[in-house]
Amino acid sequence: MDVLQAMSVYVKVVEAGSMTAAALQCEMSTTMVGNHLRALEQRLGVQLLQRTTRRQRLTEFGSVYYQRCLEVLGLVADSERLAEQALDEPRGILRITAPLTFGVERLAPALSEFSLQCPQLKLDVVLTNRRPELLESGLDVAFRLGNFEPSSLIARPLIDYTLTVCASPDYIKRRGMPQTPADLQQHDCLSFAYPAGDDWQSVEKEWRLSGPDGEVMVAVKGPMLINSSAGLHQAARTGMGIVMLPDALVEDDLQAGRLVTVMKDYQPPSRPMHLLYAQDRYRLPKLRRFVDFAVHKWGKR
């Protein structure tokens, strides 16, 4: 006998006033309702109802037991609601990885908003330009730039990662404003040193730009090659040369006039960006909530 079900049937019989009415509410036969009541009385060893063909009346013990049943069933309902909340409330640790510049300039500021939405969740964030394997590294979700090999991971497309060619006003005043990609060959161009195997490693020596006449490749040279976007950014601000940097890093300087866009008619290439995660982990509230948050904030419109 399922004691909780029998208690629930007993409560319905008391409140409905008859086994027939209770049977309708419980969506079972009157015979089954009677079986539950008899099994409950046999378990307790006490009669709960005095029944005649016309009416039923609670025994003294049946009245007390009815109140206890209400308390027990109420606690069970509360426990189930608590379990539902636990399943829906993000908690634990969410491990995120992202490229360094995007992570510093875009992700980190947004995580404050996300944390307010999920106060029970702790964030473990790894910012790196390497591409750590999600499952092997114990990561839940990754922001990934560029192309990647097909896998079993889910890849949600985000807005492209865009770049801008820019320089400081002091540099432009001293060396002049280049008008075409060919003019860059007469300028100091500072380049980012991409790691071995990166699909943008060629950008160190040639910049690809798209303009009115289509795409052009221009060989660049300059006084510095550096493997830090932040370092490249600071060098450009001090007037060392022309740079091609992520919009996320330079947009504030462009708005404030600390940097100026070079050759506005020629656009650098963009990089695709995706959010990666394992399909079987998406059911976890912590991952599901973060994916929804990230796609809402950076997803393609």
Each domain of the chain, given as residue ranges in start order, spans: 3-87, 92-161+272-298, 163-269
Distance of alpha carbon 197 from alpha carbon 86, whole angstroms? 44
pLDDT of residue 91: 85
Given this structure, which CATH class describes domain 3-87?
mainly alpha
pLDDT of residue 290: 96
Least confident segment among 6-20, 50-64, 223-237, 256-270: 50-64
Q: Who has greater pLDDT, 148 or 48?
A: 48
Structure tokens at 189: 């161009």
Does the pTM exceed 0.85? no
pLDDT of residue 283: 82
For residue 199, pLDDT over 70 is answered with no
For range 144-161, the mean pLDDT: 85
Q: Which amino acid is at 210?
A: S
For residue 280, pLDDT over 90 is answered with no
The band of 194, judged by pLDDT with boundaries at 50, 70 and 90, is: confident
Integer CA distances (angstroms), 41 to 44, 67, 260, in order = 5, 16, 86
Q: What CATH number should be reported for the domain whose range is 92-161+272-298?
A: 3.40.190.10
Same fold for the domain at 3-87 and the one at 92-161+272-298?
no
pLDDT of residue 121: 93
Q: Which of the four CATH numbers 3.40.190.290, 3.40.50.300, 3.30.428.10, 3.30.420.10 does domain 163-269 have?
A: 3.40.190.290
| H helix or E strand, kind and range, residue 164 | strand 163-167
pLDDT of residue 196: 62
For range 79-91, the mean pLDDT: 70
Distance of alpha carbon 217 from alpha carbon 99, whole angstroms? 26
